[in-house]
Structure 1
Amino acid sequence: MSQPEFKIVPKPEMSAEDRAINRLADAVHRLNEAVQRAVEAGISIELVRVSRFHDGSGNWGDQMVPLVRAPARASEG
């Protein structure tokens, strides 16, 4: 049986903007997965904009924090 041959595949050339968008999309995907895990654990999550970042040349982005409600406890008695 022959050994598999591995070749290095060059990464496509991307602009700084495309790299930034990809990083943001990856982070949002991980955030959404974390929200799903928290909800499945019985925790309610709300993402709230707390500020808006401006770069001084007309570009802006919302900055978020999670509001977390712990699981409701069953009444005793």
Structure 2
Amino acid sequence: MPNVKERAEDLATTMDEQQQAAIRMLANQLHRLNAAVAEAVNSGLSIELQRASRHHHQDGYWGDLLTPIIVKQK
């Protein structure tokens, strides 16, 4: 399965410039989030990301907003 960056690049031909910039920013932030999750796991925590809510746009677009569930091991 392609990673986020590859999927974003595949879709870029159908996106306008603003959408391309937004998806690049999202891909970069997801990479940072994944690195932070890995660091937390390596420090002895279990991390689960759950959808906390869904952001809606008036034109029908939506996106999931996440919150971490953190469990400290013994």
Q: Tell me the SS of whatever aligns to 1:20.
A: helix
Q: Which amino acid aligns with 2:66?
A: M
2:45 to 43, 46, 49: 43
How many equivalent residue pairs? 59
Report which of the two structures shows the higher radius of gyration computed on alpha carbons.
Answer: 1
CA–CA distance in 2 between the matches of 1:50 and 1:70? 21
Displacement over 2 Å in runs of 4+: none
- For the residue of structure 1 that corresponds to 2:44, the secondary structure is coil
User: 2:66 maps to which residue?
Assistant: 64
2:23 counterpart of 1:21: yes
Q: Which amino acid aligns with 1:26?
A: N
- Greater percentage in helix: 2
Instruction: Structure 1 unaligned segments of length 5 or more: list them.
Output: 1-13, 73-77
Quote the RMSD (CA, aligned, Å): 1.0
Partner SS state of residue 67, structure 2 = strand
The Cα of 1:71 is off from its aligned counterpart by 2.4
TM-score (norm 1): 0.74
* In 1: Cα distance, 2:59 partner to 2:35 partner: 33
Give unpaired runs (5+ residues) of structure 2: 1-15
| Shift in Å, 1:15 | 0.1
- For residues 10-47 of structure 1, the C-alpha deviation after alignment (integer angstroms, 9 at most, x for no partner) is xxxx7000000000000000000000000011100000
Corresponding residue number in structure 1 for 2:9: none
